[in-house]
Structure 1
Amino acid sequence: MMMEISSTDTAKERIGYNFIKRLIDIIAASIGIVLLIPLWIVITLLIKYESKGPIFFSQTRVGRNMKEFKMYKFRSMVVNAEELKEKLSEQNEMSGPMFKMKEDPRVTKIGKFIRKTSIDELPQLFNVLKGEMSLVGPRPSLPKEVKEFEPWMLKRFEVKPGLTCYWQVAGRNNIDFEEWMKLDNKYVDDRSTILDLKLIFKTFFVLFGDENAC
């Protein structure tokens, strides 16, 4: 006769998983920031050389339990990118409330490279250290996008958003919006230390160039 797993045992497992996840986040983000300092310097110089404006781009995103936070990225677009977005809305290639465009004219030359290799995401290691994000979790959404989510899509906010997830390693822009949300919900259901490590490992291949990145 199989013994039923009590809610207490499940809660203890979840606490243990969350502790290990946070420990991995802190250690990996700290090491990553230090080891990548030379790369940070090079990218900073290239961004400043190509166009005027800030090195980093910060934007309000929605995190765990619908709490908003400022997410950081290397700037990969022209300074007035958000203003130009409205004019490009009809060319959106992603279904749902998300905006994605492969040949986005707002992206700078260095921006294309750092987006292709996901280097533009590296400043989010500071979001990880602050506890606003994790290495693994659903990609953080904009508040205006979340307002258009269907109720079943809100499950993704039970966990911290992350640098990588199922969507990140499974096709990115080749996956439509609804399938993306299903993958995020799947992660919430499946999450474990082993799964997180597998997704982190798979993400390293993206650093060598992902044809689906934009």
Structure 2
Amino acid sequence: MENKKERYQVALVSEDQKINEDINFFLEDRFHIDVFSNGVVLYNHLTKEPDKYDFILSVSGLTGVHGLPLKETIHKLGFSHIPFFLVVDKADNDMIQICIQNGITDIFIKPLDKITLQTRLDFQLKHPVVGWKKRKQEDKGFNSYKMPFVKRVFDLLVAGTVLLILSPLFLIVALLIKLESKGPVVYYSYRVGTGYNIFKFYKFRSMFTGADAKLHQLKHLNQYSTEKQEPSDLEPERQEVKELCEFCEQAGGGCLRPLYDDNQIVCEKIFNARKKSDKESAFIKIKDDPRVTKVGKFIRNTSIDELPQLWNVIKGDMSLVGNRPLPLYEAEKITTDKYSLRFLGPAGITGLWQVEKRGRGEMSEEERLSLDNDYVKNFSVWFDLKILLRTIPALFQSENV
């Protein structure tokens, strides 16, 4: 008698609707597909249901945020035992070697073939990578942050008292926001806090409605950008290697070590040399943002817009002092060993970088991330009290941040 087929779970990380439909059609007989458009959302699901997925299938360039960086972060979070497959446009021997060295189980080249996809996944089920079951038992992932009892009690007492005292101010601000523009008084967005945990982050609305949809048009104004770019509504086209390193030039015949990204092909040596200075900025902060209302400008400069986050403190999503929780699109870019440390501390309303740099001119992304790491390394209740005391004069800064 034939055994009943088991239905396996696949986490698909992809923003390509056509690829999503093809994979679902190819695998629907034996596999259940959950699609994630963002790596941080996947981290969150893995944390809540660590044994759910049999495979992770990611559609990305090797160096894209859902390529090697995603694989490295999954490893650091303690899920290296889950087979990780990469779907790419092209591949060569060097790229295959890099994938093997970094623990990527296998790669698939577009256009996808149903038989190839099913065969390789079935082979992995029957013949798992040697030692992955052992690694599953040994993986410990991030050292989870545990809120000290004194810090939690202090947060509840202070947040509850401030909410009670400032309730008249809340009513006045709500009225002014309603009178100036349509939309909700308080809005929430999803933010990433301690251990890449996702939660609803509350603020008084300071922008006109629909502001998030216009963000891509204003990236050239980003304070943290390493280069000032002109706004463009066009996606970059795939390019051939236009610049070669000295070794490739001497050898002749084109690039010997190309790297294939989502939108271009680059020489590996040049890519590595420019990685620090030419990367896309993780943080996005628009100076003199045209999407901000008049009331919004005032409540931002006085930090009144942050007051609803006291409810996040009451709920336990955040602390009064900690590292700023980040939007999903920012958090998924901060996965390197150097800077992921910031997610091992508490998320907070105010923190070290606010009191160190706010009101003193523009601050680089490197400086901000370093200050976040410094807070995690030097955390103490007394350190929190010092930051809170320094936050009060920082609220009256004149720079529009």
**Is the partner of 1:61 in helix, strand or coil?**
strand
- Number of aligned residue pairs: give it: 199
State the alpha-carbon separation in 2 of the partners of residues 206 and 116 from structure 1.
10
Q: Deviations over 1:92-115 (max 9, x none)?
A: 121322111221000000000000
Tell me how large the CA RMSD over aligned residues is: 1.5
Give 1:38-57 correspondences, 5 Å limit: 38-57=168-187
- Structure 2: give runs of 5+ residues left out of the alignment: 1-144, 226-280
Q: SS at 1:128's partner residue?
A: helix
Deviations 1:4-61 (A, max 9, x none): xxxxxxxxxx97x811110110000000100000110110000000000000120000
Which has the larger Rg? 2
SS of the counterpart of 1:170? helix
Q: Does 1:114 align with 2:299?
A: yes
**What is the TM-score when the length of structure 1 is the normalising length?**
0.89
Identity percentage of aligned residues? 44
The code of the aligned residue for 1:69 comes to: F
* Conserved 8 A contact 2:223-2:362: no
Quick check: 1:105 aligned with 2:290?
A: yes
**Structure 1 residue 84: Cα displacement:** 1.1
Identify which of structures 1 and 2 has the higher relative contact order when contacts are C-alpha pairs closer than 8 Å and 6+ apart: 1
* Paired letter, 1:167: W
Contiguous gaps of at least 5 residues in structure 1: 1-13
Aligned to 2:392: 204
Q: Where has structure 1 moved over 3 Å in runs of 4 or more?
A: none
Aligned counterpart, 1:171: 357
Alpha-carbon distance in structure 2 between the residues aligned to 1:24 and 1:174 = 32
| 1:182-203 CA distance string (max 9 Å, x none) | 1011000111111100111111
Normalised TM-score (structure 2): 0.48
Match of 2:165 among 35, 38, 44: 35
User: How far apart are the structure 2 equivalents of 1:213 and 1:117?
Assistant: 10
Quick check: 2:222–2:287 contact (8 Å CA) kept in 1?
no
CA distance in 2: counterparts of 1:88 and 1:117, whole angstroms: 24
Shift in Å, 1:213: 4.0
Aligned-partner SS, 2:184: coil
Helix, strand or coil for the counterpart of 1:132? coil
The whole-number CA distance in structure 1 between the counterparts of 2:306 and 2:400 is 12
Deviation of the 1:151 alpha carbon: 2.7
**Most deviating of 85-94 and 185-194:** 85-94
